[in-house]
Chain A
Amino acid sequence: MKTADLVIVGGGPAGMAAALAAYHKGVKDILILERDRELGGILNQCIHNGFGLHRFQEELTGPEYAVRYMDLVQEKNISHMLNTMVVDVQGGEFCLITAMNKEQGMFQIKANAIILAMGCRERSRGAMNIPGYRPAGIYSAGTAQRYVNIEGRMPGKEVVILGSGDIGLIMARRMTLQGAKVRLVAEIMPYSGGLKRNIVQCLDDFGIPLKLSHTVTEIHGKDRVEGVTVSRVDERLSPVPGTEQFVKCDTLLLSCGLIPENELSLGAGALMDEVTQGPVVNERLETTVPGIFACGNVLHVHDLVDNVSKEAETAGAFAAEYILHGEKEWGEAVRPKIPAKTKCTLPEDRDTGSQLICIGCPVGCLITAQRKEDGSLAISGNTCGKGEAYARSEMTAPVRTITSMIRVEGGTGRVVPVKTKSEIPKGKIAECMREIKKAVVKAPVSVGDVLIENVAGTSVSVVATGNMRVF
């Protein structure tokens, strides 16, 4: 039987950061087991930027953040197995992990400790009780994201998105940039759970309506989605009869919440917390099963990957301590601190041309900016100088960073994620996307490689944000 001091289930940001922390504490015999074909977890498909501001004090895309950790894992020679599904874990004095892959078949590993870092999954249509038919064309946002950003394939042309959390908003922009028409984003709550910045840059930029206090009440089309009924909901979130509206579309994306993926934790007998939907842990992030620790989205759903890395380091360090110095009194259950959800409310009839949401800080003032007859700007509604500056730049020379992907020939995958190295004028987005869509590059590709120079005549280059090996 294989053995390891520490086995980590899941090679996403949580798994990798936990491994590195344990390594630094002196545990060198570590094995990461990952079911996907790469390390990196969900980050590999989150090709947009907005990662790493806390951790690296710079704004990275998901794949770039992942690559930083992958490089460290490689540098420290921490072993990992890809395409390997863990099917069972058991705790105790000796932990036992059962896994499967094509090469080794089904095998077991004996370890001194386990860290669970399996991430989460998305709520499905069935779980939301949306009545109607069951055609093709209903995707969870993450599945669609995988199709577009990893497989390089488009799952539809005319899209309705249910749920205005960040994933829903990000996918609205992603689908639009790739040529789909996003009809609307419906949100059952009276506010959006997404960041203001995403409402501005993913919806407003493309004129996509956000319908707050609305939900999908029926799905039409027997073979493929042909449309959905969208209805207003009352304070109790029940659909209001008479407000039904048919929206023609061929695709419905569901972005309605994430659920920690705890099949293995349950199988190990870990006590679960109904609030976080993750295992109950103590301050050392140890579950109620001796030797089994947990961190990242499997413990509770995180909005920021930076917090995942931090939490995972705690788990990794305590797991190392457990391995090196033995079991301690379990102590008290400590529920991880979950930052309050953002609640972004907006006036329903907002004119996105003149009413701007400031993205300078989380307050998100609603600023009205109007051009006067003499050409100067009248700005009101801001509560600080940042707002004024933001409104001025938005009204005169707005800029955006574009993230997308480019086709690769001869690589292990079909596409590699890319971004504009710096911001480009907002008006150049369409032209920039045309050039990105036309481009084809040859594997290998490494993070930072310049793939297009002077895109759309902006003198900004398009660079790779991920690696691609030769097939």
Chain B
Amino acid sequence: MYDVIIIGAGVSGCAIARELSRFQLKILVLEKELDVCEGTSKANSGIVHAGYDAGPGTLKARLNVEGSRKMETLSKELDFPYQRNGSLVLCFDPKEKDKLWELKERGEANGVEGICILDRQKLLELEPNVGDAAVAALYAPTGAIVCPFGLTIALAENAAENGVEFVFGAKVQGLEKAQEGYLVHTPKQDYETKVVVNAAGVYADEIHNMVSGIKMKIIPRRGEYLLYDKNVGSMVSHTLFQLPTALGKGILVTPTVHGNLLTGPTAQDVPGKEETDTSREGMERITERAALSVKEVPGRQVITSFAGLRAHITEFSEGEAGDFVIGEAADAAGFIDVAGIESPGLSCAPATGEYVAGLVKKLLEPLEKENFIGTRKGIPSMALASDEERHRLIKENPAYGNVVCRCETVTEGEILDAIRRPLGARTTDGVKRRTRAGMGRCQAGFCNPRVVEILARELQVEESQIRKSGEDAWYILSPEEGGSL
């Protein structure tokens, strides 16, 4: 019998797991994919929003401002990439300047610090490459960027270190009210638990509807992106948002924490919950709209495109429309929803974790652990390390001297570390998100066979068993299929 089962190992589920791991509780995270961070948490803008978007008084606003305040400290405790680069909301029409003032007031009401309005002159000082049409901007110095995988994996690893169990490939297919708590069905096994936390992202409605009569419906809203080579990463230094115009919601242009340039997202409702494909129209739209924010969109420097799904709730009678749905379901005791976690769910995560842990605490009244480990060390990066550190690492393990990914200078040592640590990588995408091997301009053309070989060696399986991400994402044929000479 578990005390808490968390469904979904996205940033929300992992943040909750980490917060709950401070207490003497038996906790399990069930994730349908083969790794953490395989849902929306892997495909978003990676922005830590300052907190001026959500309406004052909403849970979204509160968790955003709190999360944003906590993120920097958390990034030091758990060692993930974070950078406070500040964000700008660009205004392209002098008549719409008052909208900037509205945003400023809202931000101040939410408790966001340091916001101000800049005229074009000041704006140019901050961003020399800003588009000619930008007349003014809102400046939020507390806006920041974060590595979404880095954050999620760090939270999960730290939770695991503090005793939280994770089971992958475990899709929750049914939930039953039991004598005490719930019985959770997965294909391989059933689990008993006192409390269930539903952090299933775009599937949170399905999980919710398994136990509650108050029906919820989520229609995913897809957002597509274009990612550009590092050699244009410094084109802008702040995150450039756009005020919504008659043409629709704006497109952002931002550097990433790893020094690439990112533009997007689009917004389009899609019927399927796995429809993370990109489209020609999406790419064209991004390029066209991004051209407002910067003088020249470096179209030839695109290295990949991707898309993520916002968990947009379209039907649910409880709660405030447009706000997160976080709390015990009205008709299902011990079942806590963490649903409708659209943007800025990433920014909120540290606060969401604490908030939900508070709800669980009320239900189970657990004691605090004495031996909670509050910090975690990430995988060293040979690309970023000082010469001294590099020498030390290679001395420790010569594999740190063997470069496997040429574009991002990732070594075998880092890949071994990614595989061997708690909740280690089992797939090439897992290796990629932990080390950046394959994230660079050649998009794994060079390192793919090498990473597959290392994974197979470490996991002691035939190379044909290595997957990109999902069970069917094979790379090479098995010897039985004629795949080996």
Contact = CB atoms under 8 A, between A and B. Distances in A.
Interface of A: 35, 83, 85, 87, 100-106, 121-122, 124-127, 129, 131-137, 139-140, 142-143, 146-147, 151-157, 179, 217-219, 222-224, 239, 263, 266, 405-407, 414-415, 437
Interface in B160-204: none
Given A124-B443, A126-B227, A153 B477 contact: yes
Residue with the greatest number of chain B CB neighbours at <10 A, chosen from A106, A129, A132, A134: A134
A106 B402 contact: no
B227 A224 contact: no
Contacts of A407: 485
A279 B406 CA distance: 20
16 contacts: A83-B402, A85-B406, A87-B409, A105-B390, A106-B387, A124-B442, A124-B443, A127-B303, A131-B305, A134-B306, A137-B475, A153-B485, A223-B468, A223-B470, A224-B474, A266-B231
B442 A121 contact: yes
A131 B283 contact: yes
Given A102-B399, A105-B401, A153-B484, 6 more contacts: A100-B394, A100-B401, A126-B305, A142-B445, A155-B477, A179-B482
B476 interface: yes
B62 interface: no
B74 interface: no
A223 B401 contact: no
B449 A105 contact: no
B484 A122 contact: no
Q: What class of interface size applies to chain B in its complex with A?
A: 35 or more
Contact of A136 (B274, B446, B468): B468
Contact of A415 (B302, B443, B469, B485): B485
A143 B485 contact: no
B95 interface: no
B329 interface: no
A102 B382 CA distance: 13
The 9 closest A-B pairs by CB, nearest first: A126-B304, A105-B394, A223-B472, A136-B468, A85-B403, A223-B473, A223-B470, A124-B443, A152-B485
A263 B474 CA distance: 31
Contacts of A415: 485
A406 B485 CA distance: 7
A143 B449 contact: yes
A103 B406 contact: no
Contact of B394 (A106, A147, A155, A219): A106
Contacts of A85: 403, 406, 409
Interface string B409-420: 101000000000
A147 B449 contact: yes
A104 B475 CA distance: 33
B277 interface: yes
Interface string B44-59: 0000000000000000
B104 interface: no
Contacts of A83: 402
B276 A102 contact: no
B362 interface: no
A87 B442 CA distance: 17
A127 B395 CA distance: 38
Contacts of A405: 485
Interface in B281-340: 282-283, 300, 302-306
B258 interface: no
B463 interface: yes
B441 interface: yes
B279 interface: yes
Nearest to B390: A106
B391 interface: yes
Interface string B459-474: 0000110011111111
Contacts of B468: 135-136, 223-224
A448 B443 CA distance: 37
A442 B64 CA distance: 65
A121 B446 contact: yes
A129 B302 CA distance: 8
A383 to B, nearest CB: 41
B473 A135 contact: yes
A405 B268 CA distance: 50
Contacts of A131: 277-280, 282-283, 305
A135 B475 CA distance: 10
A133 B307 CA distance: 9
A302 B157 CA distance: 48
Nearest to B300: A127
A157 B481 CA distance: 9
Given A105-B395, A131-B277, A152-B484, A143 B445 contact: yes
Contacts of B467: 136, 223
A224 B473 contact: yes
Given A147-B476, A223-B469, A122 B283 contact: no
B448 A105 contact: no
A303 to B, nearest CB: 20
A133 B276 contact: yes
B94 interface: no
Nearest to A153: B476
B248 interface: no
A263 B441 CA distance: 11
Nearest to A156: B477
Contact of A437 (B302, B407, B485): B485
B398 interface: yes
Contact of A125 (B395, B400, B443, B477): B443
A112 B484 CA distance: 46
Contact of B302 (A87, A127, A219): A127
